[in-house]
Amino acid sequence: MNSVSFDFNTLTPRERYKILIGTVVPRPIALVSTVDREGHANAAPFSFFNCLSSDPAIVALGVEYSPSGHSKDTVRNIRDTGCFTVNVVSGSIMDEMNICAVPFDASVDEIAEAGLTIAPGKAIAAGRIAEAPAALECRLHSFLNIGESREIVLGEVVYAHFHENAIDADKLYVDATVLDAVGRMGGHGYATTRDYFELKTMSVADYKAKTETTIEAKAS
């Protein structure tokens, strides 16, 4: 198979961005809710997001600076209050998430514009979006300074919320079909998680047995 290669040292930031967002897919979307020092709520979606650790429970956000070069409201609020909530974007709130992405003036309440509801946080000041099937309350762990284009925020999950039918509370099994999470692709593309399949991780014994079966099948 022929290949095409790119030296990232020779690419512009925009070119690197285009390659990365088209390659690392689908990316989960964090609809992040925060509050400012006065308690005013804010919500904005970010697809440079994932979980990095379970002990401690750490999630990461990558937030671009605003066009003016300053921190976005989300990061400023996290710095000021030390907390944020990650709300999972399901297919049912895709349009509302997209409204929260509109670059409104600071005086506009994007949560109200989207018709979403804020429920109070249990452990932190930043409330969750009630319509989201799952939400993770996070305390600020740390910031990573990696350059002048994006801020990396690490948060420790301290509380989790789910719609009742989205999780088996005894087995802690999250139902992916109910969660119906939406992921970000390259450009303006999105993807659902409805095309679901399972692929069990094999033990060494399982692998050897499968290999032997394959060899025997080829020999016959």
Confidence tier at 28 by pLDDT (50, 70, 90)? very high
pTM attached to this predicted model: 0.92
Higher pLDDT, 216 or 172: 172
Whether pLDDT at 1 is above 80? yes
Radius of gyration of the chain (CA): 20
Eight-class DSSP state of 175: -
Q: How far apart are CA 62 and CA 24, in angstroms?
A: 14
Mean pLDDT of 4-27: 96
Please state, in angstroms and as integers, the Cα–Cα distance from residue 205 to each residue in 19, 138, 160, 200, following that order: 39, 40, 37, 13
Look up tokens 């308690």; give the residue: 39
- Decide if 193 contacts 181 (C-beta within 8 A): yes
Confidence tier at 197 by pLDDT (50, 70, 90)? confident
